[in-house]
Every structure is written in C-alpha cells, then in structure tokens.
C-alpha cells in the first residue's frame, strides 16, 4: 500500500519513545492522529479509499459490511468525547520505533526531548494501511513510519493542566510584595 502523509494533526495517546503497555505487557510504538473533517478532508478521503481497496482485495467485502471496531479509522462523532466531534481518529502502530523529527527534520531523541510528543501536540505523520486476518478476526490497521513535530498544542486528557482555572487560583501581587527580608547574618557566599 502507498504511504499516506497526514499534516497538522493532533496526536492522542502517543507512545513514540517507548512501546505502549497494555494489561502489563509491552505492545507497540503507537499514536492516534485526530483529523478535523473539514481541514483534513483530502487525507480522510485518501484513507477511506485505501480502506475500501483493502477490504475489496483482501476480504472481498465493502466498508458497509465490515465491523467498525476492526478498522483503524474511527468517526469521532460516535465517541463520547466532546473534543472528537467533527473529527476522525486513526490509530497507527509499529513494532519498530518510528522516525521522530522536528520541524527542521532533525531527529528527536528521548534523552533530549522526553516530553516533545504528548496528547495535544500538532504533528505530521507518515502511515500506510494493511489488512490482517488472524485468530482475533479480520482487520484494517495502520503502520506508523514517522512523526514530525510541528508545534505545541493544547494538552488533552484528564491529566492536562487547565491553565485558566489554575491562574484564577492565584492572587495578583503588588511589586512591593517581592521584597524578601534577608538576615544580616547571611553572607552572600552562603546563598550559592
């Protein structure tokens, strides 16, 4: 299958420096890309077309006759999460670590930027689709080849810091409150 480039998507649940863990077992490197139905209409059409092609060639069936849970592209309008309304989500995985680069195509290493890829960051991705038939059923899945950091976004999820609510927890201080009294007994060298 041809590789598909996804541009300026929101990442969700990225495990890009380490493999994801499910029920205590290591699985694969993975992320989900959140695609706006209007902004990403071309990418969505390309993905849907490839899904139809794979269903026809691999399973001799169509999308309408295939179980939604077994396809990597999900319609966010049927999710119970408000922020997914008007969006599609595609999950992509790989046994091998994907290429991770910044906006200048410089490789990103975990030791240098462990928090670079988080749920909510804006990123580009390179994926392809494949058909799988095993003991768990027939599926259409996505391989993850690479992710490019584009820019910081608004963090998603229950662990996301709600900045406005937190800011409202602080008082506005007058500059005079910054004066910190020092003891006459402290030498300057004692401070460092």
Could you tell me the residue ranges of all domains in the chain? 4-156
pLDDT per position as a tens digit, 73-107:
999 999 988 889 999 999 999 999 999 999 999 99
Mark residue 171 as left, alpha or beta (left: phi above 0; alpha: psi -120 to 50; beta: remaining). Answer: beta
Average pLDDT over residues 31-35: 98
Fold of 4-156: OB fold (Dihydrolipoamide Acetyltransferase, E2P) (2.40.50)
Q: Is 102 helix (H, G, I), strand (E, B) or coil?
A: coil
| Statement: residue 5 has pLDDT above 80 | yes
Q: Is the pLDDT of residue 180 over 90?
A: no
d(C-alpha 60, C-alpha 52), whole Å:
10
Query: CA-CA distance, 182 to 166, in Å (whole number)?
Result: 30
């Amino acid at each position: 299958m041809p590789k598909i480039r996804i541009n300026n998507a929101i990442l969700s649940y990225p495990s890009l420096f380490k493999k994801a863990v499910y029920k205590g077992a290591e699985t694969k490197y993975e992320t989900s890309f959140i695609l706006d139905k209007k902004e990403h209409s071309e990418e969505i059409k390309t993905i849907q077309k490839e899904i139809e092609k794979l269903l026809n060639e691999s399973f001799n069936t169509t999308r309408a006759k295939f179980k939604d849970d077994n396809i990597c592209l999900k319609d966010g309008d049927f999710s119970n999460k408000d922020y997914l309304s008007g969006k599609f989500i595609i999950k992509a995985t790989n046994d091998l670590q994907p290429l991770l680069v910044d906006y200048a195509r410089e490789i990103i290493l975990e030791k240098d930027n462990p928090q670079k890829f988080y749920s909510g960051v804006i990123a580009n991705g390179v994926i392809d689709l494949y058909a799988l038939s095993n003991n768990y059923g027939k599926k259409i899945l996505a391989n993850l080849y690479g992710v490019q950091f584009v820019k910081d976004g608004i963090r998603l999820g229950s662990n996301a810091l709600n900045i406005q609510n937190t800011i409202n927890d602080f008082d506005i201080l007058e500059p005079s409150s910054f004066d910190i009294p020092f003891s006459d007994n402290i030498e300057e060298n004692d401070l460092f």
